[in-house]
Structure formats: C-alpha cells, structure tokens
Structure 1
Amino acid sequence: MGLNLERLRVLHAVASTGSVVGAAAVLHVTTSAVSQQLARLERETGQELSERQGRGLRLTPAGLLLAGHAAELLAHAERVEASLAEHRGVVAGPLRVAAFATAARGLLPQVLRELRARHAGLEVGLAELEPHEALPLLRRGELDVAVVQDWAADPLAVGEGLGRRELLEDRFDVAVPADHWASGRPSVEVGELAGEEWISWSRGQICHDWLLGTFRGLGVEPRVAHTASEHSTQFALVAAGLGIAVVPRLGREAVPDGVRMVAITPVAVRRVFAVWRLATSPRPAIGAALTALDQAAATLQP
C-alpha cells in the first residue's frame, strides 16, 4: 500500500479542524477537493476512513488511527525538509510570522526590517493574531513563528512539539486623567485603585484578565465601566475623565494631553515569547527570525 503524503495532509487537516469545511479553509482548496482526496485515500487503504454525521462527517476508528500516523509522518517530512534547508545553509523562502497587536506594532517592524536587510531571499509575511488564534495555525503548519504573551499567574500552555524562546517582560502602567489624585505620583499601589472605575480591554485579552485576576485576588470586584481594544480609544476615554486604564508599554501609542502614566506596584508584567515547531528548528530561516527577535527585544528591555 502506497500512501500519498498530500492526501495524508488532507486527512490530518480534517482531523485537526473537525470538518471538511475547516480542512478546506486550512489547505486553501474547495470542500469538493477535500472530499475527493479522502475518497482516493480510502481506495488506497481499502478502508472506510470517514462516515456521514448529519450534514458533516466524522472520522471512523480507522480514519482516526491513520490521522494520528499522518501527523507523525508530516512532522517527519517537515524535519527532513528543515534538515535539507540547514544543509543548504541559505536563509531563503517563505516565512510566516504572527504576533499579537502591540507586539506587531512595537516589536515586529524592527524585526522585519532587519530580516529584509540581511536576507534578500527571505519572503516574510506578518499576520496580527492573538495567541489563541496563532497557536492552532502554528501547530497545523500555517505559520512558522508566533509571538505570543502570558502572565505569571496564568501561563500559556504551548503544548508538545513547539519550542519557546523568552523575548522580554513588558510592564503595565495605569493611565489616569491629568486631574486624578494619582497623576503626580511616580507609582501607585494596586490596592489603592480598588475603588476606581476602569476602562478595560475586551474580555479574554491579557490586560482584562490581569485586571480581574488581580483585584479578585484582593477580594474586590473591579468596576469595569467601559471596554475598548484600541489604545487610542482607551486614552480618549481616560482624558475625558471616564475612568482609568491598564496599558502595557510595548507598542504604546503617544500619550495624549490630559492623560498621565503612573507605574504600578508591585510591578505588573506580561511575558512575551516566540514559539515555533521544533521540527523546523534546523531551518536557517527560523534561526534568523529568532535571532532578529532576540536583538529587537533587547533594545526594548528597561
């Protein structure tokens, strides 16, 4: 029995996304093309690999078994390709990078400029994605490197098969109106802010989670008056005297008139790190990207 690697890739995509539609989106093909490849794979194996379930389908036990082996075979093929690229020793080809919003703004422009200047044959593309969006794409091979974040009380689990490189620790400050009682102080204790009205990031974003987790740890439910995912909107609301906001330093926009930044004690930080598939580690392009990220991050450390 000869198994076609591309058809195994289709089966793996169906297994990892849970549907033909999801696999088609991942592979950038039509749903009919996915179905045809599955049918051909069934003929090659002589076994039913999928069965109808309502309007969709699910993998049979044989399909799940083969999908598990497909993941191993695809990872092995990727390691072979990476080893060949290492042997060639040229930093070239496509490199797909993702980063969360403030890293995309505050870190990646310097990284991309450096990679372009040093490696003319490298074709780098950047996508702005939050960690929960980037990691599944990275595992499926749609991305090569992801810049993600977490904070110590809520570490991000990256899972097996992925490498992790610490880049920097990024501090949070509190943005207050110019006439706020804390505006002239160099720092403020977290507990002193317990009674404030907050302008928070959207639910699920790290600063929002930090706000809830920190104050609930003090036995206080923070009063979130407004939510906004853009620095400029948060600053405008703060300047209007409608509340205060936690704002990270990385990628921070210019602070407008009417807003003052005050340090928080104990120091509040998020951890920023790069993640990639270990199977691709030998690729010179991966090494070049990690080196450029390290160098750019070093210029931003306090």
Structure 2
Amino acid sequence: MELHQLQILRELGALGSVTAVAEAMRVTPSAISQQLAALQRGFRTPLTRKQGRTLALTAAGEVLAAAGAEAIDAVAAARNALDDFEHDVTGAVAISGFHSVGQALFGLLLRELTDSGPAPAVHLTDEDVAQSEFPALTARYDLVLAHRMAHSAQWPANGIRSLTLVREPLDVAVAATHPLASRRSLSPADVAGERWVTSRIGYSPDDVLRAVAAVANRPVQVQHRINDYGAVAAVVATGDAIGMLPRYTSRSVDDRDIVRLPLHGVNTLRSIDVLARPENLRRSSVRRVIEALQRAMARLSG
C-alpha cells in the first residue's frame, strides 16, 4: 500500500470515475486502473465495485479512503513543516473562480497581493460550473471560489475544507422604465407574473426563481436562460424581461438603464466560499492568498 494509491482511491470516491481521476491527476485511465489493482492485492475485502459503466467505492473502500486522506494530510504536514518554518509565501497557488466572482475579485486580489509585500505566484482561471460540481474542482486547483445557496446542502466534509468569504444577496433587476422601478423592495407576488431572464438550472438565480414560484404559488415564465450577468443586464435594460443580479459580484455590470431592488419573502442569500483540500491549507503561500481574498472581498462588499 503506497500513498499515491490511497490518493487515487480518495479521488475515485470524490470524482466518481476512473476517467475523471485520470484527468485530474494528468495520467492515463489505464495507469489509474493498474494502481487500484495493485492496492486491491493488499486486501481481501473488495475496495471497489462496478456501478453501471463506472467504478465506485465499496463500504470498505470508503473507510480506507477516509483513513488515507488523514495519511495524506499527515505527510503533507511533514513535507510543509520546513516551508512553514522558513515562511515561504512565494510558492505557486492555482485558483479557480466562477465567472462573476472572477470579474469582480481577481483584479482586487492581485492588487492586494502586490501591495502586501512578496507575493505568491498565483495562476488564475475561471470555471463556470453548477453548484454541485465545485467540490470536484479541488482535485485540480489549490483554491476554488464557489457559491452555495443558503438553503442548499453543505459542502462535503470528507477531504474538503470551506471558508465563507461573504454572504451575498441576489437582487431583482428591472429596466429603469419598468413600473416596478419606483418601488423600494419587492415580494414574490410582485414579480411572479413577469417574464424572466434567469440562469441555467443548477445556478443561484434559478434557485431563487424556483423559490419565488413556490411562495407565490404560481409558475413563472422563463423567457431567457443566460449565465453571464452583463448579458442579463443588457436584456433587462430593454424591458423584455426582469432578472436577478448578485449584489456584490456583478458591480462591473452597467447599471445606467436598470434598477436593482431587494426581494423579501424568500431567502436570496448565497455564500461565496473558498474550497480547498486540507493539505493545501498547510502551505504558507495558500494561506497568504486566502488572507488577500478576505481583504479583497471586504472591500468589494463594503
């Protein structure tokens, strides 16, 4: 039993397929299968089972994967002890963020790091995925900026750590010429009968809109499904539909022809969280980036 085999077992449980593990670890699927077979030879109890066309962990495999995660963390702690002792904050840190948080936060983050002395070598990318897909990204990036609606399931606790940067409301956006534009706030009954531009299913605006329909006890008319908030605002400005915009992370949107209004009667809060594998959080450079993210988000939401 070797450490990298335990890591493969853990990733199989987290990602759900040999192909996904191979992609995350940048090796071939056959190499992953060979290592799983080698690991299995050390145990009489099956660690994996066929589930349709994919490979899943058995109960024994899940137990070993959880114990392996602790072993990986312990080894990472030992490997990074010298790094922490020498206060090396310039190591490389790979960061993924969903589109709107990248537009709003990446520039502020770079300025925060530049202004605070020697900085980590950050590598930024955007991954526009549904809420359920964020945890898997921690296999590819040191830090993952993710969003989660307040009423939805918590992030997985096994092998992942989360830190909330901010709790952000989603506001209703209407054209400046819309009859609702003069209101100070809105209720589900006020907006359920409108035509809507919202996100694809699995993203925050669509979650809120389904809550609006439930509270108002009537179906809503979805005319457009657009994930880019700039495009949403452009559609709203024409008066063709009303939409949802995050209060902090869509500030780059042109508001000259739209009005944002708080929505009461449903929970519109989403948390913007940092997700990471626990071993990555032991690195000084990663912790330095998290501190800069906290400062940048405080400026953005202030």
Same fold (TM over 0.5): yes
Shift of 1:97: 1.7
Q: Which amino acid aligns with 2:254?
A: V
TM-score between the two structures when normalised by the length of structure 2: 0.82
Q: CA deviation at 1:118?
A: 4.3
Distance 1:161 1:29 in 2: 21
Could you tell me how far 1:265 is from its partner in structure 2?
4.1
The TM-score normalised by the length of structure 1 is 0.82
Q: 2:104 aligns with which of 103, 106, 110?
A: 106
Residue 182 in 1 paired to residue 201 in 2? no
What's the secondary structure of 1:182's corresponding residue? helix
Name the structure 2 match of 1:255. 254
| Compared CA separation, residues 191 and 26, structure 1 to 2 (3 A) | same
CA contact (8 A) 1:149 1:156 kept: no
> Shift in Å at residue 284 of structure 1?
1.2
Q: Which moved more, 1:290-299 or 1:180-189?
A: 180-189
Distance 1:195 1:59 in 2: 47
Deviation at 1:179, TM superposition (A): 2.5
When structure 1 is superposed on structure 2, of 205-214 and 64-73 the one drifting more is 64-73
**1:164 aligned to 152, 158, 162, which one?**
162
CA contact (8 A) 1:178 1:239 kept: yes
Separation (CA, whole Å) in 1 of partners of 2:30 and 2:39? 14
Task: Report the CA distance between 1:91 and its aligned residue.
Answer: 0.8
1:66-109 C-alpha deviation (Å, 9 max, x unpaired): 44433332222223334343222111322122222211111122
Q: 1:41 to 1:213 in 2, by over 3 A?
A: same
Say if 1:107 and 1:158 are closer, same or farther in 2 by CA, change over 3 A: farther
Contact 2:5 2:35 in 1 (8 A): yes
Contact kept? 1:82, 1:280, Cα under 8 Å: no
Q: Equivalents in 2 of 1:225, 1:55: separation in Å?
A: 37
The number of equivalent residue pairs is: 296
Instruction: Note the 1:60-139 alignment, pairs <5 A.
Output: 66-116=64-114, 118=116, 120=118, 122-129=120-127, 130=129, 131-138=131-138
Query: For 1:199 and 1:155, how far apart are their aligned partners in 2?
Result: 25
Deviation at 1:295, TM superposition (A): 0.8
Q: Could you tell me which amino acid in structure 2 is paired with residue 284 of structure 1?
A: S
Task: Quote the offset at 1:61 in angstroms.
Answer: 7.3
Per-residue Cα deviation, 1:106-162 (whole angstroms, up to 9, x for no partner): 112211333355465622222323443221232xx4322222223333354342454
**Alpha-carbon distance between aligned partners in 2 of 1:262 and 1:121, rounded to the nearest angstrom:** 37
**Structure exhibiting the larger radius of gyration computed from Cα positions:** 1
User: Residue 7 of structure 1: CA displacement?
Assistant: 3.0
Say if 2:73 and 2:278, in contact at 8 Å, map to a contact too: no
Give the drift of 1:228: 1.1
CA drift of 1:261 comes to 1.2
Instruction: Quote the residue 2:208 is aligned against.
Output: 210
Contact 1:216 1:222 in 2 (8 A): no
Does structure 2 conserve the Cα–Cα contact (< 8 Å) formed by 1:98 and 1:134?
no
Candidates 167, 188, 191, aligned match of 2:189: 191
The root-mean-square deviation of aligned C-alpha atoms, in Å, is 3.1
Percent of residue pairs bearing the same amino acid type: 27
How far does residue 30 in structure 1 lie from its aligned partner after superposition?
1.2
Structure 1 residues 191-200 or 164-173, which shifts more?
164-173
The one-letter amino acid paired with 1:164 is S
Distance 1:77 1:69 in 2: 13
**Gaps (5+ residues) in structure 1?**
none
